Every structure is written in C-alpha cells, then in structure tokens.
Chain A
Amino acid sequence: MNEEKDKTLVKRTLRGNKKAFEMIVRNYQQPLLNYIGRMVRERELALDFTQEVFIKAYASLRSFEPQYKFSTWLFKIASNLVIDHWRKKKIPTVSISEPLADDGAGLTLDIPDEKPSVVRKMELAELGKRIEQTLDQIPTALRELFVWRHVNGLSYEEIAEIKNLPVGTIKNRVYQAKEMIRRLLEAEP
C-alpha cells in the first residue's frame, strides 16, 4: 500500500469526497479481514469488526496525524476492537511487554535427534493449513503479532508503532510465536 496515496485519499475524504474513502475501504478491507478473522475466529463477527474499523476511522479521520502511516493507524483501531472483544468475552490477554511464562525456554534451540523433522512431512500448503489450526492455541497477544508479521506482511517497525513498544520486544515475541507454533506442529500425531 502506498503511503502517499493513502494520505491523498485521506485529504480528499476530509474535503467531502465519498469516493476517496471508498477507495480506502477497497484497499484495506482484505488486509483487515485477514487480521481480524484470525483473531476472532468467527466469520460474521470478523466482517462486522472490519466494518466497524472503517466506521470508526471515518468518524475520527480528522484526528489522524499524517506523520504516521495510515495503515498502522487502521490496524491500531482494529487491534483495540479485538482487545475489547477479548475482554468482553473474558479471553485472557497477555500484555506483550510482560515476560511470558515460558520466556527464555522458548528461545533455546531444541532439535530432535532421532525424530524426523515434522515440517518435512508436509507440503507447504498442508503446512499452512496446520499453522492456521494451531493459531487458536497460542496466546492472543502473540497470535496478533504473528498474523501482522506473516499474513499482513508488516515490518517489525510498523508493528512496534502500532503496539507502541520497542522493535526488539516485538521481534522477540514474533520469534516466540513461531517457536510455539513449531512445537505444536511437532507435537501433532
């Protein structure tokens, strides 16, 4: 997504051009659904939330500060919606700025000696499906970072801007999420 193009569309929307905001919606509806859908795991709810993100963005468009990326601003709105949802449903959320229970252990190399490598047994597409299934089993805060990094293709810097945390912390947590997924896949029969 083009940063300058986004800012032009925002300006045009603020001048009352409905079509400009429609273009914003078209550009970001898929990335937002990809993120929200993997967070809430209910299709209709994910569509409602995606719509809600655009409604909130439209209502508060004047508060968008052009020195930031528009995409990260949108993902921040989406993230707040998702976190509110988890809180309402009393799904435990772990702050990614706090150390996780298995912190440290998750970052040591653990190579099986005799067992055949689990990922070799699967084709890439099949592996993707399995990864999708294991997403539910990793902490929500880590899942969010994993999805942003690998599904939405955001950089560590962009994720750090959304979460307002140091880049190093974000990297560490993304690695941790990937290791958790790998171990879950390894544990599959």
Chain B
Amino acid sequence: MSCLKIADLYGYLEGELSPAEMENIEGHLDSCQKCREALAERRLLSEAASRLPDLEMPADFTERVMAAIIPARRRLPVWLVATVAGLSSLMFLILVAVISGEENLLTLLARLNHSFWGYAKNALVLGAKLLTLLSLTGKVLISFTQPIFRGLSVLTSLLGPGGQAFLMIFTLVVFIILFYFLSKKLMMGEKT
C-alpha cells in the first residue's frame, strides 16, 4: 500500500472512516514510519487547535447587550396614561349620552350633585358647550342609528342623576383597570 493521503490521516484521526478503511490504514501505519510521524504531527496539531483559549469577555457584557436590546425609555407612568385614557373614554360616553338623550349635557350636569362637580364645573361647562356642538354634528351623521339611541335614551331615563353619575364613575374605573392590564400585557420584553 502506498503512503496515506492527508484526507485519510484526518479521517482516521477523527474516526470518520469505515471499519475496513480504518483497518487498512492501521495496517499501513504498522509498517510505515513516515506515515506514523505524519499522523502524530497532525494529531498534536488538532489537539493544540482544540485547546485554544477563550477570548476575554468583559464582566458586564451581558448587561450591556440587554441594555442595547431593551433601552431604558422615558415613559409616562402607567397610572397616568391609564387615567388619561379612562377620562377620554368617559368623555366619549358623555358624548353618546348627550346624542342619545332628550336633554343636553348642561341640563344633565345641573342635575348632578353640585358639591361633587364644584371644582370642575367651569371646565366642564366649557367642555359641555363644545360637546353640544359636536353632538349636533354627530346627530346629523348618525341619524341612521337613531333606533339604537332611542333605546339608550329609554334606558338612561330610567336612571336618576345619581345613577347616571354612578354609571359614569364605574365605567371610568373599569376602563382604567382594563387599560392598566392591557398595557402590561402588550409590552414585549418588559416582563421580568
């Protein structure tokens, strides 16, 4: 048998050859000093290559990567965002109530407890005027939903001013809670 090829040497070293090929090579190695030396040399080389040391990793590398992946963003507190969202929802409900009701918002507010609304009265009157204007526009646009609004009107008329106020506050609280949990759920990577 002639001297071994390089691929045979590496294949032999890594156990990649068939049993018959391994046997042939071993037979040749027994009788060939050159191939034994060549094999020993490559074995040593492979061994040394597999022992190359790790490159030095900075101690804070993981933290650095995580900071780059999820940068610390300046965000408004969740409770504040939730409150704003809840108030927006309340304003929308008031709009719906005004559109569907027989009386305008000013009358509705007047029937509510004055001490409760005292602090916000001026702002609410201003907002109510704006909403009244919007309601007129809305009435034109949504005339086709009149039957639904009639139904709502009947329902709201069953409640007194106290009941209406309670309903609004209750809805506001529900919206705040709902928004708070949804905002936590929808933030990928923020959960720990």
**Chain A contacts to B: CB under 8 angstroms:** 16-19, 21-22, 25-26, 29-30, 33-34, 37-38, 43, 46-47, 50-51, 54-55, 58, 106-109, 111, 113, 117-120, 124-125, 127-128, 131-132, 146, 150-151, 153, 171-172, 174-175, 178-179, 181-182, 185
Interface of B is mostly: helix
A132 to B48, CA, bound (A): 10
Q: Which residue of A lies closest to B49 (CB)?
A: A150
When the two chains form their complex, are residues B189 and A16 in contact, meaning their CB atoms are under 8 A apart? Answer: yes
Q: Which residue of B lies closest to A26 (CB)?
A: B62
B9 CB within 8 Å of chain A: yes
A124 to B45, CA, bound (A): 8
Name the contact of A55 in the complex, choosing from B37, B69, B191 (C-beta under 8 A): B69
When the two chains form their complex, are residues A106 and B6 in contact, meaning their CB atoms are under 8 A apart? Answer: yes
CB distance from B10 to the nearest CB of A (A): 5
Query: How many residues of B are counted as interface, with CB atoms below 8 angstroms from the partner's CB atoms?
Result: 44
Which residues from A are CB-within-8-Å of B49?
Answer: 128, 131, 146, 150-151, 178, 181
B46 CB within 8 Å of chain A: yes
When the two chains form their complex, are residues A132 and B68 in contact, meaning their CB atoms are under 8 A apart? Answer: no
**Chain B contacts to A: CB under 8 angstroms:** 3-7, 9-11, 16, 34-35, 37-38, 40-42, 44-55, 57-58, 61-62, 64-66, 68-70, 187-192
When the two chains form their complex, are residues A47 and B66 in contact, meaning their CB atoms are under 8 A apart? Answer: no
When the two chains form their complex, are residues A16 and B66 in contact, meaning their CB atoms are under 8 A apart? Answer: no
Which residues from B are CB-within-8-Å of A22?
Answer: 62, 66
When the two chains form their complex, are residues A172 and B52 in contact, meaning their CB atoms are under 8 A apart? Answer: no
A58 to B70, CA, bound (A): 10
